Structure 1
Amino acid sequence: MIAALAVAALAVVALLVVAAVREVPEQPRPVALAGVPAPQADDDACRALHDALPESLGEYQRATLVDPAPVGAAAWQSESQPEPVVLRCGLERPVDFVAGTPVQAVDDVDWFRIGEQDRSTWIAVDRPVYVALTLPDGSGPTPIQLISSAIASAMPEVPIKPGPLR
């Protein structure tokens, strides 16, 4: 009888130790985004796009934004990448987007690329409002493909209107 009580007590202690040591998964931290001029961020086209945005972009999961969150913005985080994927809707036409600037089509959306050292920003230029998608280095093609699909389904295509040559 004493042996049975000792075994039971050891089992309870072992269970408590396992429960105390077990790692609780870390919750993703909200993403803080600075405000940028986005005069059309509250436009119907941006609201339609936000309703069509996917919860995941490959390994990136939709993130909560720190309040006050910029209107027209969204972000996705990855456990393996320190930088988020960031979308901003309703921006002004980029200054560098002028006549003759090359664009690249990704799944029915025309994009203008602005390169940076450790990330790139792509601007959708054939929709009623400009949409920027900032991708961290190494994010692969999945985020821009899935965002292109969301843009194509939420916003009508319009003619591209680059600025004049400077």
Structure 2
Amino acid sequence: MAAAGLAVLLAAGVATVGILLNTGESTTGDPAATTPASPRPNADGPLRVEPVAAPRAGSEQCRALLGALPDGLTAPNRKLPRRQLADPAPEGTAAWGGADYAPVVLRCGVDKPRELVPTSQLTEINGVKWLSNYDYSSVTWVVVDRPVYVSVSLPEESGVGPIQDLSDVIRGVLPAQDVDPNR
């Protein structure tokens, strides 16, 4: 009897911790991160995306990029459809995903990532240089070799398919430039 009671208490404790850890709030404090960082998988309807500092979101470069974005992104075993954003949608923002998949959120014109320093390890994907920042459940990639910074937040299980798709578009729309951690 005591073992059964202990099992019930353990299960309740695990469930409580799971609920508390899945609050939907970003724990990184990264302004490029999606808020909520990990929306509940069954969320549907327009996606609510909190505004962040994106001083160049209305720039000509961001308007051109948003106009060229694809209707879908490649993820493991699926294509993620473009997602409608809830009003008021932050300028320079786009999203992909579905009711059963945490969203991929692109923000154009964001501030320089504070992690970008002369010794930063960058990843080049399809001719675009990215700085990545991993969180406990997601990753944020930031384009650092174009006239505007572009961040993409996505669940870690997305792999690099969305980043490859977006790199192709970014390479075709935004001209490359030297990485400058001081700009």
TM-score range, shorter chain: 0.7 to 0.9
TM-score normalized by the length of structure 1:
0.79
Q: CA deviation at 1:28?
A: 4.5
For 1:36, the equivalent position in structure 2 comes to 52
Aligned mates of 1:137, 1:160 — CA distance in 2: 25
Aligned mates of 2:125, 2:56 — CA distance in 1: 23
For 1:77, the equivalent position in structure 2 comes to 97
Q: CA deviation at 1:162?
A: 1.1
> Between Structure 1 and Structure 2, how many residues are aligned?
138
Q: CA deviation at 1:137?
A: 2.0
- Is the radius of gyration larger for structure 1 or structure 2? 1
Aligned mates of 1:65, 1:134 — CA distance in 2: 15
Q: 1:100 aligns with which of 92, 101, 119?
A: 119
Identity of aligned residues (%): 39
1:122 aligns with 2:138: no
Which 5+ residue runs of structure 1 have no aligned equivalent? 1-26
The amino acid across from 1:74 in the alignment is A
TM-score normalized by the length of structure 2:
0.72
Q: 2:106 aligns with which of 80, 87, 92?
A: 87
Q: CA deviation at 1:79?
A: 4.8
Aligned mates of 2:160, 2:99 — CA distance in 1: 18
For 2:72, the equivalent position in structure 1 comes to 56
SS of 1:48 mapped into structure 2: helix
- Contact preservation (8 Å) 2:83, 2:98: no
The amino acid across from 2:82 in the alignment is R
SS of 1:76 mapped into structure 2: strand
The amino acid across from 1:159 in the alignment is D
Which 5+ residue runs of structure 2 have no aligned equivalent? 1-42
Between 45-54 and 72-81, the greater mean CA deviation after superposition = 72-81
- Cα RMSD (Å) of the superposition? 1.8
1:158 aligns with 2:177: yes
SS of 2:152 mapped into structure 1: strand
For 2:16, the equivalent position in structure 1 comes to none
Q: 1:71-105, CA deviations, whole angstroms, 9 ceiling, x for partnerless residues?
A: 00000013542x10000000110111111101000
Q: CA deviation at 1:163?
A: 3.6
Q: 1:118-156, CA deviations, whole angstroms, 9 ceiling, x for partnerless residues?
A: 000000000000000111121122100000011001100
